[in-house]
């Protein structure tokens, strides 16, 4: 039996695929395993384009009472759902989120939020019009390890921050997967930038954009370059740098679908030392702090590896944020607000333009 003080958020899941299963498994873990006692989650319904797939998903991951739907239209009309989680490929996020928002549902939408910034601006307007909550599922922002590293950065204990180097790569075996796989198919927004880019950039957003001395000023210079795969023309590898002039700092970011992430995956460089974050950068479990003997010397006099553990994959922390926001009547999260997602989408638009990556006709719903 749940105690009356616990707020229960009733989720509807759109897309019975891989990431939806990770999200649901974490959401259904006992919140006490992460010392959370104020919110909890239930999965009220799951929708797939094929009702059989929705039912199979429920049989595997949910309680028998969870309702299976064979269309996304049906799930957003369900009165027993407080929030919809969208776990479909990138280029479907806009249409799926719009459907849910217009039905008056709160929405948590997988990364990348949309195909382009114009689509996101449109979703933000629709969410405002319908007075509902909207957030991108940038789960890394909510991990306990991210809060720890952010504290080190914001406190200035390692001196002024100068550079964030971050990479997320993964070998997707592109020569052997079908060209219709979401990582390769331009119709699904395939390529490294949109799929993997949200993770290197989240470290830049947390440590630079959100730095108290930067005061939420967007990067004033963005420079990107893309290496395309001849298989489908999407970006196999992308590098991009962001200059935060107000903070006198830069982010040097990269991602690739043809090789693993380096170790460290993220190096945060301050005047008095470094923080090295060990892979995977989307959910690291350890980082190393290095101290210099004096500012700018580079001579490491002390080094400490720190582990941060939790039960589950880590997708539940963002779910808790949504539950608290909905409980409190908030329409967006402070930690991962809509303007932050918009900064990211603007960067991705610019880097795609610089890299010459155009989506096929009709993919972008708003341009
Ligand atoms: N936060 C994280 O850690 C991760 C996030 N992601 C993000 O989640 C999203 C989905 O990724 P993932 O779960 O790996 O994808 P999947 O390939 O598993 O597809 C998820 C669902 O999307 C729908 N779908 C799949 N292919 C198509 C298509 N061609 N056209 C229309 N709908 C389709 C299906 O829904 P249905 O059941 O209705 O048929 C499917 O169940 C991506 O945007 C990705 O960036 C992915 C991995 C990790
Ligand atoms: O979000 C993600 O995180 C891990 C990656 O391997 C995956 O492709 C991506 O979608």
Average pLDDT, the chain: 98
Q: Is the dihedral of CA 12, 280, 211, 311 positive or negative?
A: positive
CATH number at residue 73: 3.40.50.720
Is the predicted pLDDT of residue 66 greater than 70, yes or no? yes
ipTM over 0.85: yes
pLDDT per residue over 301-342, tens digit each? 999 999 999 999 999 999 999 999 999 999 999 999 999 999
Number of domains in the chain: 2
**Nearest atom (ligand 1) to Cα of 47:** 38
Is the predicted pLDDT of residue 278 greater than 70, yes or no? yes
Pocket residue to mutate for ligand 2, from 112, 166, 195, most atoms within 8 A of Cβ? 195
Ligand 1 centroid to residue 54 C-alpha, Å = 13
Q: Who contacts 180 (Cβ-Cβ below 8 Å, separation ≥6)?
A: none
User: Quick one: 85 and 155 in the same domain?
Assistant: no
**Nearest atom (ligand 2) to Cα of 195:** 10
User: Quick one: 81 and 37 in the same domain?
Assistant: yes
Ligand 1 centroid to residue 95 C-alpha, Å = 14
Ligand 1 centroid to residue 87 C-alpha, Å = 5
pLDDT per residue over 250-261, tens digit each? 999 999 999 999
Is the predicted pLDDT of residue 118 greater than 70, yes or no? yes
pLDDT of amino acid 4:
63
CATH number at residue 264: 3.30.360.10
User: Quick one: 305 and 324 in the same domain?
Assistant: no
pLDDT of amino acid 3:
55
pLDDT of amino acid 1:
52
Confidence tier at 169 by pLDDT (50, 70, 90): very high
Length of the chain: 367
User: Quick one: 157 and 241 in the same domain?
Assistant: yes
State whether the beta carbon of 170 lies less than 6 angstroms from ligand 2.
Answer: yes
User: Quick one: 154 and 172 in the same domain?
Assistant: yes
Share of the chain above pLDDT 70, in %: 99
Q: Who contacts 92 (Cβ-Cβ below 8 Å, separation ≥6)?
A: 188
Q: In what order do the strands lie in the sheet with 39-47?
A: 67-69, 39-47, 7-14, 83-86, 106-109, 134-136
Q: At what angle do helices 18-27 and 51-61 cross, to 10 degrees?
A: 40
Of 259, 253, 92, which is closest to residue 174 (Cα–Cα)? 259
State whether the beta carbon of 167 lies less than 6 angstroms from ligand 2.
Answer: no
């Amino acid at each position: 039996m749940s105690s009356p003080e616990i707020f229960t958020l009733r989720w509807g899941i759109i897309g019975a695929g891989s990431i939806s299963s990770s999200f649901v498994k974490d959401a259904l873990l006992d919140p006490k395993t992460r010392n959370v006692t104020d919110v909890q989650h239930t999965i009220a319904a799951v929708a797939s384009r094929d009702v059989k797939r929705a039912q199979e998903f429920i049989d595997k991951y949910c309680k028998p009472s969870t309702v299976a739907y064979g269309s996304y239209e049906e799930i957003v009309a369900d009165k027993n759902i407080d929030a919809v989680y969208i776990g479909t490929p990138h280029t479907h996020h806009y249409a799926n989120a719009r459907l849910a928002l217009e039905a008056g549902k709160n929405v948590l939408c997988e990364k990348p939020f949309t195909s382009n910034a114009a689509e996101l601006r449109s979703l933000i307007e629709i969410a405002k019009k319908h007075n509902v909550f909207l957030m991108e599922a940038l789960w890394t922002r909510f991990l306990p390890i991210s809060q720890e590293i952010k504290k080190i950065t914001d406190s200035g204990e390692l001196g002024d921050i100068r550079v964030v180097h971050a990479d997320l790569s993964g070998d997707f075996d592109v020569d052997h997967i079908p060209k219709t796989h979401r990582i390769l198919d331009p119709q699904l927004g395939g390529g490294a930038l949109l799929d993997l880019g949200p993770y290197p950039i989240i470290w830049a957003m947390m440590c630079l954009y959100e730095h108290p001395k930067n005061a939420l000023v967007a990067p004033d210079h963005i420079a990107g370059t893309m290496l395309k795969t001849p298989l489908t023309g999407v970006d196999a590898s992308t590098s991009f740098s962001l200059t935060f002039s107000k903070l006198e700092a830069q982010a040097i970011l990269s991602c690739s679908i043809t090789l693993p992430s380096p170790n460290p995956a993220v190096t945060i460089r301050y005047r008095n030392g470094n923080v090295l974050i060990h892979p995977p950068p989307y959910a690291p479990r350890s980082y190393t702090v290095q101290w210099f003997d004096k500012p700018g010397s580079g001579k490491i006099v002390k080094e400490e590896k720190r582990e941060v553990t939790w039960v589950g994959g880590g997708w539940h922390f963002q779910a808790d944020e949504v539950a608290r926001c909905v409980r409190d009547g908030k329409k967006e999260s402070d930690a991962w607000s809509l303007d932050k997602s918009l900064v990211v989408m603007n960067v991705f638009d610019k880097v795609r333009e610089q890299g010459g990556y155009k989506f096929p006709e009709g993919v972008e719903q708003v341009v």
